[in-house]
């Protein structure tokens, strides 16, 4: 993706090829015919239903992001949902190390006239809170899965990265409170020479905006609740998919699958779309829950179908916006005018 450091882009492509290799080996080993037969049970209409259900967690994520903007500078829900959709499409389909979607969202919203430091700070806070809720979600799933299948030997290697993640998120939050971006800018300045004053001021502005966001504790709590709800709605997506594939497992089983798979996906952030790793996660947990391998991989492929169904139109919508150079969401203009005056 344009804008990534060439070395990072190279790492991303290597990770993608490794993930693709794992993906092909898994599908080949367990038989594409058996997996296709399992998918055929759901049919095209079933796959369409599974994909459509994803709008629910997407809405919840947009609402979680919405509360991180101050009330007088808050974009419309429609605009936030649009930005969330495009950001997810970029993260899912393009080799951008999981950061491309956020960079695109910053670009889109600054083109709308919203302060770049505010958008960046809201996205940093959104990432932090998303990781907090994901860790809680995955940790609960691991504990419940361990109790359910008594498979400590399998779960401990997965639990360790979760515990490391907790430490890293706490450190990330503390660093934001102490001026993370200003400190990074000055660190770069020490090694690379003087930076443009505008760059330093922008980094300090992001730090200040982030501190203001975390100071609004009620809004942060509401954001956490919406983001937590998004994970539960993701469980609903898996549960419906299981039933449509002919594996009527309980919502509890779907919770175990989704919570661990999302943890695996986060751990495989270097691999675009967690290709291969996500399928391995579905296979691992599905096997522990006595789900046939072809059923687990068919379930994993319904996730890929949904990612393509949302991702390809999202990429096209982004390119359409870039080509036009404007975004016709007039409902945002009063808020943007107030923001520009206050800035």
308-342 tens-digit pLDDT: 999 999 999 988 888 876 544 444 444 444 444 44
Judged by average pLDDT, the poorest of 9-13, 65-69, 248-252, 316-320 is 9-13
End-to-end CA distance of the chain: 32
Q: What is the total count of domains within the chain?
A: 1
Q: Does residue 157 form part of some domain?
A: yes
pLDDT at 192: 41
pLDDT at 277: 85
Domain enclosing residue 263, as ranges: 6-342
Q: Does residue 337 form part of some domain?
A: yes
pLDDT at 100: 76
Mean pLDDT within 290-298: 91
Q: Is the pLDDT of residue 159 over 80?
A: no
Q: Does residue 119 form part of some domain?
A: yes
Q: Does residue 1 form part of some domain?
A: no
Q: Is the pLDDT of residue 77 over 90?
A: yes
Print burial letters for 242-251: b (CB count within 10 Å at least 16), e (below 16): bebbebebee
The structure's pTM equals 0.82
Decide: 101 and 310 in contact? Cβ < 8 Å: no
Mean pLDDT within 61-87: 94
- Reading the block at residue 120, the tokens are 């960046």
Mean pLDDT score of the chain: 80
Matching residue, tokens 């994520």: 61
pLDDT at 224: 96
Q: Is the pLDDT of residue 164 over 80?
A: no
- Reading the block at residue 264, the tokens are 């695996």
CA-closest candidate to residue 174, choices 119, 128, 126, 241: 128
Judged by average pLDDT, the poorest of 126-135, 219-228, 280-289, 317-326 is 317-326
Q: Is the pLDDT of residue 343 over 50?
A: no
Q: Does residue 36 form part of some domain?
A: yes
């Amino acid at each position: 993706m344009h804008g990534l450091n060439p070395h990072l882009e190279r790492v991303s492509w290597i990770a993608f090829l490794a993930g693709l290799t794992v993906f092909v080996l898994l599908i080949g080993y367990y038989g594409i015919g058996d997996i296709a037969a399992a998918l055929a049970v759901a049919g095209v209409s079933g796959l369409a239903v599974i994909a459509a259900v994803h709008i629910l967690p997407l809405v919840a994520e947009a609402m979680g992001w919405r509360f991180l903007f101050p009330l007088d500078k808050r974009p419309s829900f429609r605009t936030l949902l649009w930005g969330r959709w495009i950001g997810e499409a970029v993260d899912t389909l393009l080799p951008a190390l999981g950061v491309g979607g956020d960079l695109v969202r910053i670009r889109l919203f600054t083109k709308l006239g919203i302060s770049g430091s505010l958008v960046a700070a809201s996205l940093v806070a959104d990432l932090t809170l998303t990781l907090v809720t994901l860790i809680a979600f995955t940790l609960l799933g691991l504990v419940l899965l361990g109790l359910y299948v008594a498979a400590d030997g399998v779960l401990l290697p997965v639990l360790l990265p979760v515990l490391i993640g907790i430490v890293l998120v706490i450190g990330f939050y503390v660093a934001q409170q102490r001026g993370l971006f200003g400190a990074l800018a000055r660190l770069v300045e020490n090694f690379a020479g003087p930076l443009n004053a505008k760059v330093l001021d922008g980094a300090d502005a992001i730090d200040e905006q982030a501190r203001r966001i975390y100071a609004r504790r009620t809004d942060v709590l509401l954001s956490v609740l919406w983001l937590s709800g998004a994970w539960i709605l993701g469980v609903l997506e898996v549960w419906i998919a299981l039933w449509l594939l002919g594996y009527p497992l309980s919502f509890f089983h779907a919770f175990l699958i989704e919570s661990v798979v999302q943890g695996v996906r986060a751990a495989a952030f270097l691999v675009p779309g967690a290709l291969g790793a996500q399928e391995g996660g579905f296979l691992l947990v599905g096997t522990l829950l006595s789900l046939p391998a072809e059923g687990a991989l068919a379930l994993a492929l319904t996730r890929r179908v949904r990612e393509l169904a949302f991702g390809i139109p999202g990429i096209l919508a982004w390119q359409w916006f870039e080509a036009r150079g404007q975004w016709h969401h007039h409902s945002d203009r009063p808020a943007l005018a107030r923001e520009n005056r206050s800035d």
